[in-house]
Amino acid sequence: MRIGVDVGGTNTDAVLLNGKRIVSSTKAATTVDVTTGIVQAIREVLRKATLLPGDVKSVMIGTTHFTNAFVEGKRLLEVGIIRIAAPATLSLLPLIGWPKELGNAIGRHVYLVPGGYDYDGREIAAFDEAAVREAVLDIRRKGLRAVAITSVFSSVNADMETAAAAIVGELMPEAHVTLSHEIGRVGLLERENAAIMNAALSDLSSQVIKSFRKALSDLGVHAAFFISQNDGTLMAADVVERFPVLTIASGPTNSMRGAAFLTEKTDAIIVDIGGTTADVGALTNGFPRESSVAVNIGGVRTNFRMPDILAIGVGGGSIIREAGPENRRTSIGGRVTIGPDSVGYELTEKALVFGGTSLTLTDIAVAAGVISIGEPAKVAHLDKAFVADALEEMHCRLDDAIDRMKTSFESVPVILVGGGSALVKRALAGASEMVVPENAGVANAIGAAIAQVSGELDRVYNFDTCARDVALSDARDIAFARAREAGARDNIRVLDVEEVPLAYLPGGAVRIRVKVVGDLPVELGA
C-alpha cells in the first residue's frame, strides 16, 4: 500500500493505492502551513479505507512548500555565492537579472575566484585554494549558513566544485552546501541561479522534512517517504533535504503522470482544468515533455528539468466578459473573453450560482446545462446566445492550446483531468479520442504516487579524442549510476538521448544529454 499526496493552491488531494488499484481518495483544503493539510488528507484516506497506518509502505508527496517560499521570498537563507571562474565570466556577476527584493533576501555575498574548465576539460585557471579559503572565512564571519558553489563547465569536470565544498566542510561544518553540477545543466547563469535558490531553501527543506517525518510518525505511519520533483520522478526524503529546488513546479507534472497511469496511455495531450487555469502538457513515453527554454521562477531564470506546460487563463472560476474594443484581441470568437482573472478558491462565494456577483465560467456551464451545481435559477436570466458564445469560446481556447502543444500534425488522444474537466462537452480539435478517466479529480495525487526515479547527464564530449560510442556509453553509465543513487533498483532504462554538435566551429565537440528512469524497489512501489 502506498499513499500519494499532491498540494495545490486550493486543495490538497490524497489517494491510497494498492498496486494499481485505488483504494480511497480525498480532497482537503490546503492550509496556510501546508503540512496540516497534508496530515489531514492522509488521515482521511486511511480512515476511508479502514486501514491500519502500519500497512502503508511508502508515502509520496508533491508539495508547494518550496515554490511558495521562493516566490514569496520568505523563509529563505542568505547565501554565500562562490563562483569558480575567473578570469572568465566577470562580465556578468551572480544574481544578475534577479528581482530586487529577492536578490536582497538572498543577500549579495558574492565571491569570484579563479578556476573553472573549458568545454574540453582544460583548466581556465588553476584552482586557488587560498582564495576559496578566504571567501569561506568571510562567509563564516558574516554568520551565513548556506553556500552555493558554481564552476564553469562543472558538468565536464566537477573537481573544483568538490574541492571548494571540502574547504567549506572544513571551516563551516554545519553549513548547507549546494554544488551546481548536482542540479543544473550547461548554461552558467541559469545553473548558478538554481544552485543559489537551492541553498536559500536548505533550512526550510530540513524543517519541512522533519515536520513531515514527525507528522507521519504521529499518524503511526512508519513508511519510506518521497517527494515528487518537477520531472515527474521521486526523490527520497533525505535527498530532498539537499535538493529542495528540484521539487519546484511538480504540480502539473503529477497531474500528467496520474493521467497516464489512469488511462494507461504513454503518448497524449493532457488538459488539467482547475479553478484559475487550464494546464496543457504533452505526455511522451509516459513522461511530461520537458521544456527546452529557460524557465522563470519568481522572476529568476533557471534551466533545470521542468515540464513544458502551457497554462491558459481558463478555469472554473474564470471571469466572463463581453468582448469590447480594448480586449477583443484576447478573444478567439470576438464576442466573449474568458479570464485571465479568476475568483479562484472563492468560487463558492463569488459565483452567481452560489449567490455571488461575479459571472464565472462555472455559471456559464450551469446556464448551458453542462453541469449542475449551486442554484441554476440564479443564472436563468443570462442571454442564451451569450452563454453559447462563452461556452464555445472556452472550447476554442482549449482547441488552440492543444494545437500549440502538439508536436506533430497527427491527431492524438486528449485526456481531461482536474475539477474543471466536466465543463468540456464537445470533442476538442486535433483529438483522436477524448478520455476522462475515473478519479480524474485526483489524478495529481495518483501521479505523485507513481514510484519512479531518474538520473541525468548533460556534458560536452569531444569526438576527436573520444569515440562517439565510448562517449555515449560513458554518458549512459553516469546517468544510470545517478538513477541508482536516487534509489532506482529495477527496470532502469534510457528515456531520452540528445546529441547536439556545437555550432559555428570546426572540431568534434558534441553536447550529449542522457536521461534514464528506473523503478523503486518493489516493496516500496507496490
Identified binder of another protein from the candidate list 293, 377, 380, 385, rule CB under 8 A: 293
Query: Is residue 126 part of the contact set for another protein (CB under 8 A)?
Result: no
Contact range with another protein by CB under 8 A, out of 162-170, 242-250, 341-349, 500-508: 500-508
Site for another protein in 148-187 (CB under 8 A): 152-153, 186-187
CB of 162 vs another protein, minimal distance in Å: 18
d(CA 270, CA 401): 11
Query: Is residue 96 part of the contact set for another protein (CB under 8 A)?
Result: yes
CB of 194 vs another protein, minimal distance in Å: 14
CB of 396 vs another protein, minimal distance in Å: 13
x/- contact string, 450-479, with another protein (CB under 8 A)?
A: ----------x-------------------
Query: Is residue 97 part of the contact set for another protein (CB under 8 A)?
Result: yes
Identified binder of another protein from the candidate list 25, 89, 277, 360, rule CB under 8 A: 89
> What's the length of the chain?
526
Contact range with another protein by CB under 8 A, out of 12-20, 228-236, 405-413, 414-422: 405-413
Contact range with another protein by CB under 8 A, out of 87-95, 199-207, 416-424, 447-455: 87-95
- Residue 335 or 378 with smaller CB distance to another protein: 335
CB of 403 vs another protein, minimal distance in Å: 6
Cβ contact 199:312 at 8 Å: no
In terms of Cα–Cα distance, which of 392, 270, 265, 276 is closest to 337?
A: 392
Identified binder of another protein from the candidate list 332, 396, 509, 526, rule CB under 8 A: 509
Identified binder of another protein from the candidate list 51, 71, 110, 125, rule CB under 8 A: 125
- Residue 186 or 365 with smaller CB distance to another protein: 186
- Residue 430 or 521 with smaller CB distance to another protein: 430
Contact range with another protein by CB under 8 A, out of 66-74, 103-111, 115-123, 377-385: 115-123
**Backbone Cα Rg of the chain:** 24
d(CA 306, CA 176): 24
CB of 181 vs another protein, minimal distance in Å: 12
Query: Is residue 105 part of the contact set for another protein (CB under 8 A)?
Result: no
Identified binder of another protein from the candidate list 27, 48, 75, 406, rule CB under 8 A: 406
Neighbours of 513 (CB within 10 A): 18
Helix or strand or coil: residue 485? helix
The grid coordinates of residue 285 equal: 513515453
- Residue 19 or 506 with smaller CB distance to another protein: 506
Identified binder of another protein from the candidate list 51, 435, 511, 521, rule CB under 8 A: 511
d(CA 383, CA 227): 48
x/- contact string, 198-237, with another protein (CB under 8 A)?
A: ----------------------------------------
- Residue 65 or 459 with smaller CB distance to another protein: 459
Bridge partner residues of 6 (DSSP):
13, 62
**Helices and strands of the chain, counted as H and E runs:** 15, 23
- Residue 189 or 268 with smaller CB distance to another protein: 189
Phi-psi region of 115 (alpha: psi -120 to 50; beta: other; left: phi over 0): left
Helix or strand or coil: residue 439? coil
Site for another protein in 327-366 (CB under 8 A): 329
Number of residues that bind another protein (CB under 8 A): 46
d(CA 252, CA 229): 11
Identified binder of another protein from the candidate list 32, 50, 91, 238, rule CB under 8 A: 91
Neighbours of 199 (CB within 10 A): 29
Give the type of residue at 515: K
Cα 356 off chain centre by:
34
Bridge partner residues of 7 (DSSP):
12
CB of 438 vs another protein, minimal distance in Å: 30
Query: Is residue 122 part of the contact set for another protein (CB under 8 A)?
Result: yes
Query: Is residue 410 part of the contact set for another protein (CB under 8 A)?
Result: no
Identified binder of another protein from the candidate list 31, 75, 120, 169, rule CB under 8 A: 120
Helical H segments across 119-219, by residue range: 129-141, 159-171, 188-200, 202-218
- Residue 329 or 384 with smaller CB distance to another protein: 329
Neighbours of 349 (CB within 10 A): 12
Query: Is residue 432 part of the contact set for another protein (CB under 8 A)?
Result: no
In terms of Cα–Cα distance, which of 262, 250, 173 is closest to 443?
A: 262
Our CA angle for 106, 112, 113, nearest 5°, is 140
Q: How many Cα atoms occupy the beta-carbon half-sphere of 96 within 13 Å?
A: 10
Neighbours of 296 (CB within 10 A): 10
Q: Which one-letter DSSP state was computed for residue 313?
A: S
- Residue 187 or 521 with smaller CB distance to another protein: 187
CB of 411 vs another protein, minimal distance in Å: 14
Contact range with another protein by CB under 8 A, out of 22-30, 111-119, 134-142, 439-447: 111-119
The grid coordinates of residue 129 equal: 585554494
Cβ contact 309:279 at 8 Å: yes
d(CA 79, CA 261): 40
Neighbours of 10 (CB within 10 A): 18
* Interface residue list for another protein (CB under 8 A): 85-93, 96-97, 116, 118-120, 122, 124-125, 152-153, 186-189, 292-293, 326, 329, 403-409, 460, 500-507, 509, 511
